[in-house]
Amino acid sequence: MKAEGWVLEAAQKPLVKQAFELAPGERDAVVAVDACGLCHTDLGFADGSVAPKHALPLVLGHEIVGTVTQAPAGFASLAGRAVIVPAVIPCGDCSYCRAGRGNICPRQKMPGNDVHGGFASHVAVPAWALVPVDDAPASVDRKHLAVVADAVSTAYQAIRRSGLAKGDAAFVVGAGGVGGYLVQLARALGARVVACDVSKDKLALIAAHGAELTFDVTGRAPKEVRKDVHAAAKGWGIASHAFRIFETSGTPAGQTLAFTLLAPAATMVQVGFTPKTVEVRLSNLMAFDATLHGSWGCPPALYPEVLRHIYAGEVALEPFVEQAPMSRLNQALDDMAHHRLTRRLVLDPRA
């Protein structure tokens, strides 16, 4: 079938709106895109700093919410339903999936990376992974749920990977994007949350949505920030074995700070991405008997848990999201590249 989308033909070139052939497999559903979020991963593909797995030309976009217009055999009940398309769709069959590590399945299908994505009128994706959201409360704008496909679910997977428990201290480096949702989820799960960022506006917003303490780290040495953050946890009576450190800024400075926050028996999870190298002393992991995890995406099976926190009002989407027409996509990418965006954009392909 024919679809229409914004196609990346070559890195460092504007995306071009054009018709393309959508070829759903026998187990795929066709989803009419209602909204698609804009992520830094899209910018990485567009500017050439990261190579997508699918050869160009490629339709980008992996934070998708839409309506099922065509369902395969065995999934007829999905027809006409509003759904989230997970950003990471594992095969469900391989040794990684069987080991409970489906979020890093080597045969995964990520829209806008492995297959054509959501900067389009329609996508074709495995039906089994779709997450219905037609039961969302009226207080939740369904288009905003697009960010669940990556920003919110990725934050939740990172929390699960960390083993965070009620009463732990969560230190979040990077208070926007994924970090903003991670703060809210950690707070909802009973953690005491500290947020660090270089943006006063982001810190002010997250202070109203779950961060008990915030630190503007602009121009500050990591060891100086470490002293303040650890003092806060000590004041709460939390020992360092209950420290959970999350790096979500995706910057060398943020990664350096997060690593510096390690302490005896603490756990750090690396969530943000930068193609730049960072110099750290790995011996700290040995000396502190500490743990460092990477975290990629989120398996579809966890999405209902994420949605329950949103539907219960424990995670706010609206203050962190801005809607825009898909026709502004190239300008939006430029705005993201030059740090002019203050919220995560959710793009409407009909505008």
Do domains 2-150+298-348 and 152-294 share one topology? The answer is no
- pLDDT surpassing 90 at residue 1: no
Calculate the average pLDDT of the chain: 96
Look up tokens 């069987």; give the residue.
98
Average pLDDT over residues 252-281: 96
Rounded-to-integer distance, Cα 187 and Cα 112, Å: 31
For the chain, domain boundaries? 2-150+298-348, 152-294
Q: What is the pLDDT of residue 232?
A: 97
Average pLDDT over residues 243-257: 97
CA angle 20, 22, 26 (to 5 degrees): 170
Average pLDDT over residues 41-55: 95
- pLDDT surpassing 90 at residue 49: yes
Rounded-to-integer distance, Cα 58 and Cα 10, Å: 9
Residue-wise pLDDT for 214-226, tens only, equals 999 999 999 999 9
Confidence of residue 135 (pLDDT cuts 50, 70, 90): very high
Confidence of residue 4 (pLDDT cuts 50, 70, 90): very high
Q: What is the pLDDT of residue 72?
A: 96
72 and 26 Cβ atoms separated by less than 8 Å: yes
Rounded-to-integer distance, Cα 296 and Cα 92, Å: 16
CATH topology of domain 152-294: Rossmann fold (3.40.50)
Average pLDDT over residues 14-20: 96
Residue-wise pLDDT for 106-118, tens only, equals 999 999 999 999 9
Q: What is the pLDDT of residue 203?
A: 97
| Pair of tokens at residue 146 | 């697009």
- pLDDT surpassing 90 at residue 241: yes
Q: What is the CATH number of domain 2-150+298-348?
A: 3.90.180.10
Average pLDDT over residues 160-186: 97
Q: What is the pTM assigned to this prediction?
A: 0.95
Average pLDDT over residues 82-96: 96
DSSP 47-94: HTSS--SSPSSEE---EEEEEEEE--TT-GGGTT-EEEE-S-B--S-S
Q: What is the pLDDT of residue 20?
A: 93
Rounded-to-integer distance, Cα 231 and Cα 236, Å: 9
